[in-house]
Structure 1
Amino acid sequence: MTSAELPSRDEAPARRSLTENVVSAIMQMVSNGELLAGQRLPIEKELSVRLGVSRGSLREGVRALAVMGVLETRQGDGTYVTSLDATSLLSGFSFYADLQVADDATQLLHVRRILESESAALAARTLTDEQLDLLSAVLDRVDTIIEKGVDDDDLAEVIAADSEFHTRIARSTGNRPLAALIESLASRTQRTRMWRAMTERGTVPGAQAEHRAILAELRRRDPDRARVRMETHLMGVEDFSETHPTEASEESDASSQ
């Protein structure tokens, strides 16, 4: 875009205002039930006339709502309201978590500990026997790795099993917003856990023992003890992040290259 094509200082705020109006109007249409989950938006020409904005402003508003997880554009098929599930609507939080630097990673881990401790307490009341057996099967995979000896090539599989264990517990609560937040935080604190496993001897067997202790309290249907076990378990990763911010940050940067 050339300098001649750039909006003037007066035009830019005006455009932002029109875009915000589009966002507000479409969200209102969703809120009052005029647009339902999975429903296609009216054609662009019709909607721009209805909202009293140009097609350019309408498109900017639609893009903003797509980032927010409210709308999705399907190539060659139009724009639709998403399923409006917790995972879609909380996608903005995921972006926020992605932007955090090492110093703020500890704060995210702290939030994760609070949420997952309560998740474990809720899960102690809601988990079925089948779900408990699936949790045990996840930990069995890690036991197999530990028995043969954990090396660097195994760490990705161990961390994947770790994440699956925690997300299964969160999902079992039936609280979809809670589960969506936990899944987002678990995936975005994965590198800190990986770095800890690489630098601290005995971390994997220790974490596995803590996972087994959490599972035992879940099987006993004891919310209070499950909460305490989960909090103690996650405190280890949080403490590591506080004492090794530089190392964890460097590993995160290297992993993303």
Structure 2
Amino acid sequence: MNTPSNALHDSPRRTNRASITQLIFDDLRQRILDRQFVRGGRLPTEKQLVAHYGVSVASLREAIRGLASAGFVEVRHGKGVFVTASAEDLIANSLNSMIQLENVGMAHVLGVHGALNTYASELAAARATPQDVDTMQKALIAVDHAVTPEDIADGLTRFLNALVRASGNPLLVSLCQFLTTVQIGLAREIQGKRFEAWRKTAARLSNGRQRIVDAIRIGDVDGARVAARAFHEHSISVFNALPKANDAVVQDLAISAFFSKLLQQMMR
């Protein structure tokens, strides 16, 4: 693996300042994606980067700010610039922007999540290990024995994430983990901190979740697909029946504020 100093080579050609900043941004971004700079590692020092690119400190810092805003790096004052990019964060950032730009509504988000989870269930039925199934089952048990809303939310998140990880598809994992966070975040917005409301909603969907796990346990691909599709349809009906589901904050297709807050929480 290249070290920060020897990972630099062939700096981008200089033009005007705006173009220079963009070229530095693109070059460093590509090096991160190529794993020349690995997650958790530190970029070369500001002095090294300025010398390498032959630019001003101002141009370099502007490019670094862009990388930080995009979720690729984190500036730690007094320590340096560290690579923080992860597939989940990058996808979350991109999807959040698209959701706000296109005024995507909750129905669209939940619909896509359901379709992806159905596909994940099929793959999991074909690929899941006994350990994967055990992780899913333990998450469901945790939901059933939860005593707080946070316990239920945590158990549901662990179940959905374990399900998609069992698919063995890294792109599917990243997409579904983001959408799971959205779905659980929406539940928090609607249900608040009322444990009884959380308990009743979780209980209504308990059998459906168990059917998915049972199909995956025996390697029944068709059964897993049918169970996951039925679970999604039931989830939508349960969601629509919630007391606050018809509030403007949920029905309004311009839900950028919700997603902005959610993304900030995810990127912390």
TM range (shorter): 0.7 to 0.9
Q: Equivalent residue of 1:40, what SS?
A: coil
Alignment CA distance shift 1:144-1:36 (3 Å): closer
- Residue in 1 aligned with 2:45? 43
Indicate conservation of the 8 Å contact 1:87/1:177, yes or no. Answer: no
Partner Cα distance (1:136, 1:92) in 2: 31
Where do residues 170-249 of structure 1 align in structure 2 (5 Å cutoff)? 170-194=164-188, 195=190, 203-239=201-237, 244-246=245-247, 249=250
Output one character per residue of 1:13-56: Cα deviation in whole Å (capped at 9) or x when no partner: x6544432221122344456654555432221332243243212
Partner Cα distance (2:185, 2:83) in 1: 33
Alignment CA distance shift 1:100-1:220 (3 Å): farther
% identical aligned pairs: 24
Amino acid at match of 1:138: A
Partner Cα distance (2:208, 2:117) in 1: 14
- Match for 1:166 among 160, 163, 166? 160
Where do residues 95-174 of structure 1 align in structure 2 (5 Å cutoff)? 95-96=96-97, 99=100, 104-144=105-145, 154-174=148-168
Indicate conservation of the 8 Å contact 1:112/1:182, yes or no. Answer: yes
Partner Cα distance (2:165, 2:126) in 1: 13
Amino acid at match of 1:72: E
Partner Cα distance (1:36, 1:135) in 2: 31
Where does structure 1 lack aligned partners over 5 or more consecutive residues? Answer: 1-13, 146-152
Output one character per residue of 1:169-210: Cα deviation in whole Å (capped at 9) or x when no partner: 112223223212211111112143353797799532221011
Partner Cα distance (2:199, 2:218) in 1: 31
Indicate conservation of the 8 Å contact 1:90/1:181, yes or no. Answer: yes
Q: How many residues align?
A: 233
Indicate conservation of the 8 Å contact 2:149/2:198, yes or no. Answer: no
Where do residues 16-35 of structure 1 align in structure 2 (5 Å cutoff)? 16-30=18-32, 34-35=36-37
Indicate conservation of the 8 Å contact 2:142/2:151, yes or no. Answer: no
Indicate conservation of the 8 Å contact 2:201/2:238, yes or no. Answer: no
Query: Which is helix-richer, 1 or 2?
Result: 1
Indicate conservation of the 8 Å contact 2:123/2:168, yes or no. Answer: no
- Residue in 1 aligned with 2:88? 87
Where does structure 2 lack aligned partners over 5 or more consecutive residues? Answer: 1-15, 262-268
For residue 168 of structure 1, report the CA deviation from its aligned partner: 0.8
Q: Which moved more, 1:33-42 or 1:16-25?
A: 33-42
Alignment CA distance shift 1:63-1:231 (3 Å): farther
